[in-house]
Every structure is written in structure tokens, then in C-alpha cells.
Amino acid sequence: MNAKITKLEEQFQEDANELASDKKLSDIFKGVSIFVNGFSEPPALTLRKIMLQHGGTFHDYQVCTH
């Protein structure tokens, strides 16, 4: 599971790096991370896109260590 989470985080970072600064809408979510591990409204893909466009970080899964 840790390998999958790492892979998804790397994919998000690659997409963020590919997004040119002229296509980035703002940095309003800079330093903000959201975790989606189930049903959400709006859907997870929409939240991912919003976070990419506005400088945030998106995680599909949260690892519990307790």
C-alpha cells in the first residue's frame, strides 16, 4: 500500500510540475493538503484538478500509523 501511495503522490507532483505557471490560476491553496479516501462531493478527480490549479496538494489515501 505504501508503494501505491508513493506512486500516486509522485504522479500528482509530476502533473503539478508540468502545469505551466501561466496555466496556474492562483496559489490560494499553497501549503494545503487534502486527503480523499472515499466518496466526496465534488468528486475526487474534480478536487484533484482544483488543487493542481491553485497550488495545493492532493492525496488519495491517508496512511494511519496507530
pLDDT of residue 42: 92
pLDDT of residue 64: 58
- pLDDT tens track for 10-52: 888 888 887 766 677 888 999 999 988 888 899 988 998 899 8
Q: Over 70: is that where the pLDDT of 63 sits?
A: no
Burial of 49 (0-12, 13-18, 19+ CB in 10 A): middle
Q: What is the pTM of this model?
A: 0.73
Please tell me what DSSP assigns to residue 35.
E
Residue 29 in contact with residue 55, Cβ under 8 Å?
yes
**More confident site: 64 or 20:** 20
Pairing state between β 33-35 and 57-59: parallel
pLDDT of residue 23: 74
